[in-house]
Chain A
Amino acid sequence: MKKAILSILGRDRPGIVAAVARGLLDLDCNIENVSMAMLQTEFAGIFLVGMPEGVTVGEIEETLTARLDPLGLQVVVKPCTPPGLEEPAVRSEPFVITSRGPDRKGLVAHIAEVIARHGVNITRLQAVFKGGSHPADNLMIFEVEVPEAVDAGTLRRELHAAAERLGLEITLQHSYIFETLHRI
């Protein structure tokens, strides 16, 4: 079955998920994965759906836009690459990079660039910048996959160097420590 990936963006309000799901059901599409997030007052949702024979990406976009546009939501739909055509999976270990420190422009860019330079993939990013000096108010948490071939020592040193320039405290820790500490 062909698949499509949809992103829905707009101001949050009741009924967004219902409208998207009803539109997809009317086209006989099957929702396989959903991830949604709320940032302050904004909604962002990503839907991965299976498309029946005869339904096109264009039809999905047209149908959903017609229903969601009146709600002030933007829709983007694109075809999904079928599994097996990407590059073979790289063996990697999950790590967590956490930074805390005063807010300023460019924090995400500077740290993410160091991560990218090492070929490390960010699988999840949570960031909160409220300003002020409380450490918990200015926090970036990058969950990353560090390929086995990457030298963790060099990555750590470069992260620390970048953090020092930005006035941040930064840590790179294997994610298992968090599960060990907090979960049974």
Chain B
Amino acid sequence: MLTEREIVATLEMVKSEHLDVRTVTLGLSLLDCAGEELAAVRRRIAERIQRTAGRLVSVCDRVAQKYGIPVVNKRIAVSPIAVVAAAFAPEELVEIARTLDAAARAVHVDFIGGFSALVEKGMARGDRALIAAIPEALAVTERVCASVNVASTRTGINMDAVLRMGEVVKAAAERTRDRDGIACTKLCVFANIPEDIPFMAGAYLGVGEADAVINVGVSGPGVVRKAIDRALAENPALDLGGISEIIKRTAYKVTRVGELIGREVAEALGIPFGVVDLSLAPTPQVGDSVGEIFQSLGLHGIGVPGSTAALALLNDAVKKGGAFASSRVGGLSGAFIPVSEDLNIAEAARRGILGIEKLEALTSVCSVGLDMVALPGDTPAETISAILADEMAIGVINQKAAAARLIPVPGKRAGERAVFGGLLGEATIIPVNCGTAENRFVRRGGLIPAPIHSLRN
């Protein structure tokens, strides 16, 4: 027998607190689509996506309606294209990106991830070609997302790849100059990239995964914030240990919803269920913000002293709640702080409370990294590489995923606004300290060795 309280609380979570399943992402192996003839590879990829993902959107919509929980996005993550299409030249890889884009459009998914390469230890021919193709591929497509893993705790940081990615980020921005460098919003540079992320732009299907798998990304920063606010209204003296408990319980609930929806979609499609990724992923709407949680915790805004501790508390409690709710938790699982996609974080950046240095500190305790950060257009490629290297070091040393989605906005300076639209939002361009100075460190290249696993301090 259900209680009135359970029913009303559920309705409120959906209606007022933006509880939803942020994405159901179909992971799809394309490894057996590989070949040497471009037209045949493109045909096989298109057919595979159409055949496996054809019903994805309709099934998600039906399950969403059954439970009254919106499934906001339906997406596809494919095997790393640098492996699938290792035989091809950059211009041919752009054609494959077009195939992915058209296939995604045909099955009505909003993003397809996996235009990716794994180069944490070295670059093979296919990797070099794919990386060279990224700026053009992201400029001529709408839905394709790219990621490049340049570092890992096991192997260290491939600084040659980091240096190259600085150039690629700059080129991608330049190639979409008329849209504030929007291509860069679809490009992540990673350390320790998980193989089962359902969230974009980092989603791809790892080579250790099955033919197809359903991974689910759940969110709910609004639900967490309201739960904290309610608890504090009932007991204003609640301490941080008590708040952590509230966040854990809320994360538990949100994760359970994700698993329920994911398992049912997977069963209907006849595809194994993979993981729930419980990440507090904001959208540019009031009430759906990670930044607002900081204010509920008692901080003036994200970026002020205390923010790193607050984020550590939040991220850890989310992971604990998620891990208790489901034994199939994976992906990034934690809190995201994408600057342009969160109204409150974007505002903190605009007011100067949050700079790139504090953002970097925050990424050492949250689940991703420097995400959707708009930088001055004149930031040189080697400075971009140096920022990437810093972020990769945080991931490698802390044995966690770390990523950077940086947008050097062409023709714009610090303090001006970059507008990407929709879920990607808009942000004030933030300055980079000594951003235009020469950086011989990153130009040295080579491999920063893997970290020592003892003497941990």
Contacts and interface: CB of A to CB of B under 8 A. Distances in A.
A128 B4 CA distance: 10
Contacts of A124: 1
Nearest to B5: A182
Nearest to B63: A174
Given A124-B1, A171-B68, A173-B66, A181 B6 contact: yes
Interface in B1-32: 1-2, 4, 6-11, 13
Contact of B2 (A143, A156, A172): A143
Contacts of A126: 4
Interface stretch (B119-127, B253-261, B298-306): B253-261
Given A143-B2, A182-B253, A96 B66 contact: no
A141 B10 contact: no
Interface string B228-265: 00000000000000000000000001001100100000
B441 interface: no
Contacts of B253: 181-182
Contacts of B7: 96, 98, 141, 178
Contacts of A153: 65
A143 B257 CA distance: 20
B256 A171 contact: no
A139 B260 contact: no
A156 B11 CA distance: 16
Given A156-B65, A176-B67, A181 B256 contact: yes
B189 interface: no
Given A136-B8, A139-B8, A181-B13, A175 B257 contact: no
A173 B68 contact: yes
Interface in A143-172: 143, 152-153, 156, 171-172
A180 B6 CA distance: 11
B68 A177 contact: yes
Nearest to A175: B2
Contact of A182 (B10, B69, B260): B10
B256 to A, nearest CB: 5
Interface string A113-133: 000000000001010100000
A175 B10 CA distance: 11
Nearest to A153: B65
Contact of A177 (B1, B4, B8, B69): B69
Interface class of chain B by DSSP? helix
Contacts of A139: 4, 8
- Scoring B7, B8, B65, B66 by chain A CB atoms within 10 A of each residue's CB, the highest score goes to B7
A114 to B, nearest CB: 17
Contacts of A181: 6, 9-10, 13, 253, 256-257
A171 B11 contact: yes
Contacts of A156: 65
A177 B67 contact: yes
Contact of B6 (A172, A176, A178): A178
Contacts of A141: 2, 4, 7
Nearest to A177: B67
Contacts of A152: 65-66
Nearest to A169: B15
Contacts of B6: 178, 181-182
A96 B65 contact: no
A103 to B, nearest CB: 16
A136 B12 CA distance: 10
- Scoring A136, A156, A181 by chain B CB atoms within 10 A of each residue's CB, the highest score goes to A181
Contact of B260 (A128, A172, A180): A180
Given A124-B1, A174-B66, A180 B256 contact: yes
A126 B3 CA distance: 9
Contacts of A182: 6, 9-10, 253
Given A143-B2, A173-B68, A180 B9 contact: no
Contacts of B65: 152-153, 156
Interface string B21-63: 0000000000000000000000000000000000000000000
Nearest to A156: B65
Contacts of B2: 96, 141, 143, 175, 178-179
A85 B164 CA distance: 79
Nearest to B254: A181
16 contacts: A96-B2, A98-B11, A124-B1, A141-B4, A143-B1, A156-B65, A175-B2, A177-B10, A177-B69, A178-B2, A178-B10, A179-B2, A180-B256, A182-B6, A182-B10, A182-B253
Interface of B: 1-2, 4, 6-11, 13, 65-69, 253, 256-257, 260
Interface of A: 96, 98, 100, 124, 126, 128, 136, 139, 141, 143, 152-153, 156, 171-182
* 3 shortest interchain CB distances as A-B pairs: A173-B68, A177-B67, A182-B6
Given A152-B66, A173-B66, A173-B68, 10 more contacts: A128-B4, A141-B4, A152-B65, A171-B11, A171-B68, A173-B10, A174-B66, A177-B257, A178-B2, A182-B10
